Amino acid sequence: MVLLGTLVNAACIIIGTLLGKIFHRIPERIKETVMFGIGLAVIVLGLQMGFKSKEFLIVILSLVFGGVLGEWWDLDAKLNSAGDWLEGKIGGKASNEQSISQGFVTATLIFLIGAMSIIGALDSGIRGDHDVLFTKAVIDGFTALVLATTLGIGVIFSAIPVLLYQGLIAIFANQINEVVPKELMDSFIMEMTSAGGIMIFAIGLNLIGLTKIRVANLLPGILITAVLVTILYFIPAAN
């Protein structure tokens, strides 16, 4: 079943969030310390990913031009609007909880940015091998549990974009594999991981309250990365 890994991933996010909500009634001081702990861990993860690049100029250009496109399209506002819409449908939030919008946006960015989503979905679609997505599912489940204790029920809705994103890649994996050369795909994943790592680093800074970076507006940088890597791949061939 092509979508098995993706379905398990989404299910683990839902289960993790529900378990996290069970433990959400903890003292505010503990919540604050936990949030700082999550933020620091996310920062370290972002740094590890950020150092994967072999052509860091690609990463810089991707973030610059991606940021311009993101601000132009105002993706951050659109994502937050989706979260606000969900919040309105559910009936708002309690005064002592984080907004559904914040939980949805933060969790979505953490769960979608990274190589495991693409590699795992391709493995599921091409070889029927779901091991990478099963591993990601466990990681995402525990992450959702911890995030839900501080960011609330909004985290659960991040399962929807995970389903759509990874599911579409898995469904069209064979076509992608036939069209994109392996060397080009490997190069893209490496540079995308680095650019994504910097975005995750920014999420960590936001979580601990040091910055208010509109990380969603940097997401087009992934598309710019694909374009730049493709250009550099075919330039030697043209010469």
pLDDT tens digits, residue range 102-151? Answer: 889 899 999 998 888 999 999 999 989 999 999 999 999 998 998 898 88
For 161, the token pair is 């974009």
CB atoms within 10 A of CB 209: 11
- In whole angstroms, give the CA distance from residue 67 to residue 174: 31
**Long-range contacts of the stretch 189-192 (C-beta < 8 A, 24+):** 189/115, 189/118, 189/119, 190/52, 190/53, 190/54, 191/53, 191/54, 191/55, 191/58, 191/59, 191/62, 191/225, 191/228, 191/229, 192/115, 192/118, 192/222, 192/225, 192/226
In which band, very low, low, confident or very high, does the pLDDT at 27 lie, cut at 50, 70 and 90? confident
Indicate the domain borders of the chain.
Answer: 4-238
Gap between the Cα atoms of 186 and 103, Å rounded: 32
pTM of structure: 0.84
Structure confidence by residue, pLDDT tens digits, 202-221: 999 998 999 999 999 999 99
